Amino acid sequence: MSGLLLKEFLLVWRGRARIAAALTFAAATLLMFSFSAGADGRLLQRLAPGFLWLAIVLASTLTLQASFDAETQDGALDGLVLRASPGAIFYAKALTNWVFLAALACVLLPLIAALFDASLGTLPRVLAVLVLGTAALSAPGTLYATLAGRSRAASLLLPLLYFPLIIPALVGAVKATELAFFGDPMNQWSGWVGLLGAFSMVFWALCGALSSAILEDG
């Protein structure tokens, strides 16, 4: 497993141009959001958590593919399945994707503060949401990216499959971020974080269990 993890890190590192592109894409998205919302500073402040997570979700469609760039040519993935279990392959990819997505989210944070004049509130709470929220996105995202990596047709459909699925994670992440930015008088933050945790647990387990259906067939 550690061998797999190392390989995954190296793959994504080699695909770091894609990660850089994803970062630029996220930043551009944030810019567009801020322009389309208009000049009202107060409104922008309130919208900041939502825009942050939308940018992360959109950018994830790029970063999730990063681990597949090298392997989908020449059918390297098929060879890998002979040597390691699909579950191990999946979890290695998902963990790697999580790390890089969380890193991307953290890099976006100062940008959000600047663009939307958002005070970042309690930073530990914000970071916790970034880490947990990106975890929630990574499991289903990795599984669907595996689909996309193995079939050109499926890559067209990645957003169509991925976006509806992660809606509860989006809801929880945005609410928790909002409460962390602006204050939490009624102590609801942990509830939303709990939702993120539950979502993550369900889908990390389910996606791992289903990974053989994707990696072994077809």
Partner 1 sequence: MTRERVAAGFGVLGLILLGWGSYLGLFVAPPDRYMGDVQRIMYVHVPFAWLALVVFTLAFVYAVLFLVRRSWRWDALHEASLELGVLYTFLLCVQGALWGKPTWGVYWAWDPRLTTVAVMLLSFAGILSLRHFLDDPIRRASWSATATILAAANVPIVYYSVRWWNSLHQLQSSPETVSSSMVEPLRLNAFGLLALTVALLMVRSWIAADRRAAAMAPPLPAQGA
Enumerate binding residues for partner 1 (CB under 8 A): 140, 143, 147, 151, 153-154, 156-157, 160-161, 163-165, 167-168, 171-172, 191, 195, 198-199, 202-203, 206-207, 210, 213-214, 217-218
* Min CB(3)–partner 1 separation in Å: 26
Name the residue nearer to partner 1 (CB basis): 119 or 188: 188
Name the residue nearer to partner 1 (CB basis): 32 or 209: 209
* Min CB(81)–partner 1 separation in Å: 14
Name the residue nearer to partner 1 (CB basis): 38 or 164: 164
Phi-psi region of 182 (alpha: psi -120 to 50; beta: other; left: phi over 0): alpha
* Min CB(199)–partner 1 separation in Å: 6
Q: What is the dihedral of CA 218, 59, 25, 23, to 10 degrees?
A: -110
Distance separating alpha carbons of residues 206 and 156, to the nearest angstrom: 23
| 3-state secondary structure labels for all residues of 90-128 | HHHHHHHHHHHHHHHHHHHHHHHHHHHCCCCCCHHHHHH
